[in-house]
Amino acid sequence: MPTEQDREGEPADHSAPHGPPDPVRDLVPDPVRDPWRAAMRLALAEAGRAARGGDVPVGAVVLAPDGRTVLAAGHNEREATGDPTAHAEVLAIRRAAAETGEWRLAGCTLVVTLEPCTMCAGALVQSRVDRVVYGARDDKAGAAGSLWDVVRDRRLNHRPEVIEGVLADDCARLLTDFFRDR
Ligand SMILES: [Zn+2]
């Protein structure tokens, strides 16, 4: 399984966030979000791979029920593959299901750099993940709390827990830099 240390050994990725440390953010403990920061850094590394292929930098990882083991990862590949459904979350949960041999990802956590869209939110409900963790909010298309809240719609039987705002600044900066540089 890839670990955070493995990723950090890779060549420098200029699309990855390397902003100055934020002393306030780093010193104030956040018991809800802090446990997911390491996984979000893996998702950020995935997002960097999307940008290298000309895709909007969004990355995702699926964690096993232990909350640490990475089952699968994915990044946005719409441009790279010409597939409109090739969003990071869809690719990551497909790969996680292939890895486990089970379409139900019960107990698993999906960690993604950007708030899921309606398609991905629907796919996440279908996958039965226990938890969705995301970084930046997407006020224009987000479907996990911003514009819609598909994942926590009370009319659905399965409603994953949602934790937002993990390394949100880093996740948002990656997108801002990508669009500025185009
Ligand atoms: Zn999506």
Question: Using one digit for the tens of pLDDT, what is the confidence trace for 98-131?
Answer: 999 999 999 999 999 999 999 999 999 999 999 9
DSSP H stretches of helix in the chain = 4-8, 23-27, 37-52, 78-81, 88-100, 118-127, 168-181
Q: Is 171 labelled as part of a ligand binding site?
A: no
Confidence of residue 27 (pLDDT cuts 50, 70, 90): confident
Protein residues near ligand 1, an ion, with CB under 5 A:
87, 117, 119-120
- Rounded to the nearest angstrom, the distance between the alpha carbon of 102 and the centre of ligand 1 is 22
**Block residue for tokens 């960690």:** 111
Known binding residue 108? Answer is no
Which residues are annotated as catalytic?
A: 89
> Mean pLDDT across the stretch 23-43?
89
pLDDT value of position 24: 66
Mean pLDDT of 142-167: 95
Neighbours of 65 (CB within 10 A): 13
pLDDT over threshold 50, residue 6: no
Contact 164, 136 (CB under 8 A): no
Q: Rounded CA gap, 121 and 118, in Å?
A: 5
What percentage of the chain reaches a pLDDT higher than 90?
81
Separation of CA 156 and ligand 1 centre (Å): 19
Element (H, E) at 111: strand 109-114
Q: Give the Cα separation of 54 and 116 in Å (integer).
A: 20
The alpha carbon of 88 and the centre of ligand 1 are apart by a number of angstroms equal to 7
Region 13-33: mean pLDDT is 65
User: How high is the pLDDT of residue 9?
Assistant: 37
Give yes or no for residue 12 having a pLDDT over 60: no
> What span, in angstroms and rounded, lies between the C-alpha atoms of 77 and 74?
9
Reported residue count of the chain is 182
Between 20 and 129, where is the model more confident?
129
Q: How far apart are CA 30 and CA 74, in angstroms?
A: 27
